Amino acid sequence: MDRILAKNIIILSIFFGAILGLLAPVPYIGTIILFAVFLLAAPAVMVFLIMDGKLDLTTTQDSIIQGGLAGFVSGVAFSSVYAVMAFLLGTFLHFSSNFILTTMIANSPIWLLVVFIIFIGVLFGTTNAFTGFLTYYIINLIRDMYEKRNG
């Protein structure tokens, strides 16, 4: 994987994770957004880059690495933005969509939050590596069906 492609994946993943991290404190939508970042960050980034012409999935190894990178970066961005939003909303507006998580964020030392955010990033990276792998096979299946039909 070249540096330009990695940079594009990282920038899109940060954007994807940060936007969804801003929306996650909304009470009922937050759970859906969490699962979207947990499973769909890599496919969203990969499909966007494929449609933009900047990515071509050639091997399963590439799809796993790119999916893991997209998942890790979007997970770290999501967790970081969500932690800041939960702290600000809980401290100044006394609003909490998840009381236990907001209390943990507000009362934990910074080093523990950093460890937790890195753990979330690794967890999201692992699941998104798998969904990136599935994206590779689904895209190749669609390409093969298109070629059979029109070829």
* Least confident among 6-10, 96-100, 101-105, 121-125: 96-100
In this prediction the pTM is: 0.91
The CA distances from residue 43 to 12, 49, 51, 77, 113, in Å, are: 12, 10, 12, 17, 27
Identify which of 93, 73, 71, 69 has the alpha carbon closest to the alpha carbon of residue 81: 73
The whole-number average pLDDT for the span 138-149 is: 92
Residues 107-117: pLDDT tens digits? 889 999 999 99
CA distance 151 to 146: 8
pLDDT in tens, 19-74: 999 999 988 898 899 999 999 999 999 999 999 999 988 899 999 999 999 999 99
What mean pLDDT, rounded, does the chain reach?
Answer: 92
Q: Which helix (H) or strand (E) holds 25?
A: none
Listed by start position, the domains of the chain span 3-150
- Residue 46 in tokens: 């990969």
What pLDDT, on the 0 to 100 scale, is given for residue 14? 97
Type of residue at 102: T
